[in-house]
Structure 1
Amino acid sequence: MLAMLAGCNSTPTTVDNTPTEAGPKQATSDGKALQAYSQSGEVEYNTMVETSVPVSELGNITPIPITDLWQRIRDGYGIPQSKPLHTATQQQLNWFIKHPDYIDRVVERARPYLHYIVDQLEQRNMPMEIALLPIVESGYQPFAYSHGRAAGIWQFIPGTGKVYGLKQNWWYDGRRDVIASTGAALDYLEKLYGDFGDWQLALAAYNSGEGTVGRAIKRNRKAGKATDFWSLDLPRETSAYVPKLMAVADLVKQPENYNITLSPIDNSPFLTVVDVGSQIDLALAAQLAEISTDEMYQLNPGFNRWATTPDGPHRLVVPLEKADIFQQGLAALPVDDRVQWTRHKIKSGESLGVIAKHYKTTVAVIKEANGLGSNNIREGRHLLIPIASGEASDYPLSASQRLATRQNTPRRGNKKVYTVKAGDTWWDIANANNVGVRQLASWNSKAPGDVL
């Protein structure tokens, strides 16, 4: 079924993007990017240490540990920021200054994941501004889904996600898995930096694609123009994308200059990854970890259903402070009790598809659970089927419940429920009900290209 509204032309609010500065890896004059596309225009940084103590005694100085994660991020900046700020960056910065409440919300959403992402960037010697990129992409909302079918805090589209190893199936969407998608995003950005030799160009390509940026560089070179990001003719969204990140970076660097107070985040791990070894009901896992089911889904947003996927990944993210009690609970729980099962007697005329729909599962899951090599089943035989331990409402952030919540959210206008018929298309339904295709898809947490 699809939910629709009549007499309402407002578009649901989408997450906004933001700019930032760069990180430790700097462009090099012999990089692939410079040979293939352009001159990077990189900035050289010379480090000079001034000291009033003999050099021989410097080794005895104990460095003061950084306790503030924001300071660790600032210390790792590596993308050159123009001074004064570029006009486009200043325009984006002005918006953030006027919306401190938005900054507060984003910081709270980022809190569980930010230290992990900073760690990953540091291990790769990448610019710490990239830790702020999910603010631009998704507002650090793990369940963010765009009209262009991009998902997760890093907003991967399906095709790019698959290229970078993110599994996407009925049970699981790696684009929303914070651990998997962070690794994929950093792999992709490193690849783009290798192509272009400049972080701003790499970020622009992350937003609009390598081809778009490469062609813009070639046009400028042919015309004898500069080939840095600010000189390129790029799509409007991309032209705002990098300035948004640079604006966020400047705001984080000196929030006091803009009367902004960043809520403190400790420079210590918040989460840890636990290998659970097999499929497990997420409500049960939450009980074992002594956290709410909501929090379990927020930390593991890649899982679409009531349980982890049967064929992996067999890992769960839990708060570090809950790791021991969770592992103790897992050890005491027999593997067979991690998922509840029901015994179904096959009736005349039933198919695996009909049975799967009844139990809100898939044919593949039933076949795997019962060792079936084909879709052929016989009346009177029994099938074992994994089922949720609770009601649908006990899994409020599963894919089906998120859709139900969105469809039931009060909005202006009259709501209408339409039952999709064989052969229907998004355009047919939208046209028949005098609404836009994008609007209709958005109301139903879909994209216009999704299968009905």
Structure 2
Amino acid sequence: MNRKKFYVIFCCCITFLSTLGCKQTPTQSADLQDVLRDLLTQKEPTPIPKTVKTPTQPDPEPKPYKTSDIWEHIAHNLRFEQTPHSRVKARVDWYLSQPEYLLTVNQRSSAYLYHIVKKIEQRGMPLDLALLPFVESDFRPHAVSKQSAVGVWQLVDATAYHFGLQSNDWYDGRRDVLASTDAALSYLSYLHKTFNGNWLHAIAAYNTGEGRVKAAIKRNKKVGKSTHYWHLKLPKETADYIPKLLALSYLLKHPETGFKRPALDNKATTTILDVGQAFNFGVLAQLLDIDKQQLHDLNTGYLRHQSPEQGPYKLLVPLTEQALMQSPFYREQFSRSYQVKLNDTLYGIARQFGTSVKKIKQINNKQNNLIRVGEKLLINQANINRTLTVDYQISPYLEQQATPKQATIEHHHTIVSGDSLWDLSQHYQVPLKDLLDWNNLQSASILSPGKVLILHLPTTKQAQPNEQLNVPSYLDVLEGATQLKEAPSTTEPNLPLD
């Protein structure tokens, strides 16, 4: 009898718990208009409750979504939280008013986007950062802002210098899409660490400067306000900057809104070639059997037809890595022959010559790892035996006057509380290294309030260049032989930066 009662009570409990569970999990649905309407509503950021993680049960890393289309790959791996806000809705409306915007700018980015995505993923950074060149410059390598920020990542000279980009009369690393990507990601990584892992603060600082964002956070803390990005008082351009990024991110994830997402293969259509010596675009284009103007268009960092004598010598070429390695020029100039010996393996040969098994297989068009004694293999190793330059010294046709030294004036800055060397270098638009040299300081030097720093700032009156020489015409024969033009073309469609 007791056992029967226990069974009845147990069944009742199971029924009650099942009913309660059903009541607590109602089906939720929302159409597109509901989602867009919700973006109009400004809400307080929802605090994320802190949880104590045990070292024995770490959260597994989410596996990246992989697909054959790179834009779909980006869309499915965006990580930034979409906080409903009226400024985000305004930017969504702006993008929806020109639904083919991304189709247009994708044409300028198609040769580089795969490489940018890979660089971001290799650093373990959020893939949302791949959208920044579109927000910054509509992916225009030649873009120059009113603040003299240059390139797709809109880097100013001091930041570019600090993060290792070269700049001279022959080459500007800020215009080099892949070189500037490395510098921009290093800068963003630094800002992310500076702002204690807060990406919105870091990206805002990337746009307006580290000092402004720190000052805004300090003001809010002083009056007891939230320091979340949406509560900071920042310049209008920066206040619209994050919403523009989040709106583009939102529309990529919701193509049903009518915003057109481009189709682009998730594979490399270009590859980086390290020439290893100074080169001329005309000569190299002929040897690689590719169009010289296309080579210029892919490598916008080079300002002339010839690379600097001291480098860099890296070029983006319109070939896959496999196609480049199979080209006659690469096999002749960047490989050497090796005869397989007893007990050799591809892995051992790769280690011996500082290359990889994959590259050896590619250059020899091998589908497997089998090799035989006596077989001759090509090993990818630079073996340049010809010059890739044209001697312009026979005529001043392409010689340019040396850039005159800019006139400067000595300026004194008195340190106040909160000043930092990096903030001052950005404020005065001077390289941090120069600021340190002028004042015999180290990067870790402590600035004491009241101390006076010396800066050498450009004057408003620029030094006048000497009158240029008349251009002779007798070098036309050489020009025709190397198929050179007077300057690389910079024509490209423009979109307004708003």
**TM-score, scaled relative to structure 2:** 0.57
Do the aligned residues in 2 keep the contact of 1:153 with 1:176 (CA within 8 Å)? yes
Partner Cα separation in structure 2 for residue 387 and residue 147 of structure 1: 38
Do the aligned residues in 2 keep the contact of 1:192 with 1:202 (CA within 8 Å)? yes
The residue type equivalent to 1:251 in the other structure is L
Partner Cα separation in structure 2 for residue 99 and residue 113 of structure 1: 24
1:340 maps to 2:341? no
1:390 maps to 2:389? no
**Number of residue pairs matched?**
314
Partner Cα separation in structure 2 for residue 200 and residue 388 of structure 1: 57
Q: Secondary structure at the match of 1:120?
A: helix
Partner Cα separation in structure 2 for residue 113 and residue 259 of structure 1: 26
Partner Cα separation in structure 2 for residue 63 and residue 228 of structure 1: 28
Q: Secondary structure at the match of 2:282?
A: helix
Written as runs of structure 1 = structure 2, the 5 A alignment for 1:297-336 is: 297-321=296-320, 322-324=323-325, 325=327, 327-328=330-331, 330=333, 336=386
Q: In the alignment, what sits opposite 1:261? A: 260
Label 1:179 to 1:243 Cα distance change in 2 as closer, same or farther (>3 A).
same
Q: In the alignment, what sits opposite 1:67? A: 68
Q: Secondary structure at the match of 1:249?
A: helix
Q: Secondary structure at the match of 1:273?
A: strand
Do the aligned residues in 2 keep the contact of 1:339 with 1:389 (CA within 8 Å)? no
Partner Cα separation in structure 2 for residue 284 and residue 232 of structure 1: 54
Q: In the alignment, what sits opposite 2:170? A: 171
Partner Cα separation in structure 1 for residue 252 and residue 261 of structure 2: 8
Label 1:42 to 1:295 Cα distance change in 2 as closer, same or farther (>3 A).
farther
Partner Cα separation in structure 2 for residue 95 and residue 317 of structure 1: 34
- Listed as ranges, the gaps of 5+ residues in structure 1 are 1-39, 47-61, 345-354, 365-385, 410-452
Cα-to-partner distance string for 1:20-45 (whole Å, 9 max, x where unaligned): xxxxxxxxxxxxxxxxxxxx987579
Instruction: Give percent identity, aligned residues only.
Output: 36
Q: Secondary structure at the match of 1:126?
A: coil
Cα-to-partner distance string for 1:350-392 (whole Å, 9 max, x where unaligned): xxxxx86x5424669xxxxxxxxxxxxxxxxxxxxx9996379
The residue type equivalent to 2:153 in the other structure is W
The Cα RMSD (Å) is 3.3
The residue type equivalent to 2:81 in the other structure is P
- Listed as ranges, the gaps of 5+ residues in structure 2 are 1-44, 52-62, 336-382, 404-474, 494-498
Q: In the alignment, what sits opposite 1:152? A: 151
Q: Secondary structure at the match of 1:320?
A: coil
How many Å apart are 1:397 and its aligned residue?
5.8
Which of 356, 360, 373 aligns to 2:399? It is 360
Q: In the alignment, what sits opposite 1:136? A: 135
Do the aligned residues in 2 keep the contact of 1:273 with 1:315 (CA within 8 Å)? yes
Do the aligned residues in 1 keep the contact of 2:299 with 2:316 (CA within 8 Å)? yes
Q: In the alignment, what sits opposite 1:77? A: 78
Q: In the alignment, what sits opposite 2:189? A: 190
Q: In the alignment, what sits opposite 2:250? A: 250
Q: Secondary structure at the match of 1:274?
A: strand
How many Å apart are 1:342 and its aligned residue?
4.7
Do the aligned residues in 2 keep the contact of 1:142 with 1:298 (CA within 8 Å)? no
Do the aligned residues in 1 keep the contact of 2:144 with 2:151 (CA within 8 Å)? yes
Partner Cα separation in structure 2 for residue 223 and residue 69 of structure 1: 45
Q: In the alignment, what sits opposite 2:231? A: 231
Written as runs of structure 1 = structure 2, the 5 A alignment for 1:399-414 is: 402=490
Label 1:248 to 1:328 Cα distance change in 2 as closer, same or farther (>3 A).
same
Do the aligned residues in 2 keep the contact of 1:112 with 1:271 (CA within 8 Å)? yes
Of structures 1 and 2, the one with the larger relative CO (CA 8 A, separation 6+) is 1
How many Å apart are 1:292 and its aligned residue?
2.0
How many Å apart are 1:395 and its aligned residue?
4.0
Q: Secondary structure at the match of 2:315?
A: strand
Partner Cα separation in structure 1 for residue 276 and residue 387 of structure 2: 13
Label 1:277 to 1:63 Cα distance change in 2 as closer, same or farther (>3 A).
closer
Do the aligned residues in 2 keep the contact of 1:66 with 1:72 (CA within 8 Å)? yes
Partner Cα separation in structure 2 for residue 177 and residue 42 of structure 1: 40
Q: Secondary structure at the match of 2:391?
A: strand
The residue type equivalent to 2:82 in the other structure is Q
Partner Cα separation in structure 1 for residue 85 and residue 331 of structure 2: 54
Partner Cα separation in structure 1 for residue 46 and residue 159 of structure 2: 29
The residue type equivalent to 1:155 in the other structure is Q
Partner Cα separation in structure 2 for residue 86 and residue 342 of structure 1: 59
Label 1:187 to 1:342 Cα distance change in 2 as closer, same or farther (>3 A).
closer
Label 1:320 to 1:73 Cα distance change in 2 as closer, same or farther (>3 A).
same
Partner Cα separation in structure 1 for residue 154 and residue 478 of structure 2: 32
The residue type equivalent to 2:67 in the other structure is I
Q: In the alignment, what sits opposite 1:96? A: 95
Q: In the alignment, what sits opposite 1:279? A: 278
How many Å apart are 1:145 and its aligned residue?
1.6
How many Å apart are 1:111 and its aligned residue?
1.0
Label 1:241 to 1:359 Cα distance change in 2 as closer, same or farther (>3 A).
same
Partner Cα separation in structure 1 for residue 477 and residue 168 of structure 2: 18
Cα-to-partner distance string for 1:145-196 (whole Å, 9 max, x where unaligned): 2222111110101111101111110010011112211111000001111111
How many Å apart are 1:65 and its aligned residue?
5.1
The residue type equivalent to 1:272 in the other structure is T
Q: In the alignment, what sits opposite 1:58? A: none
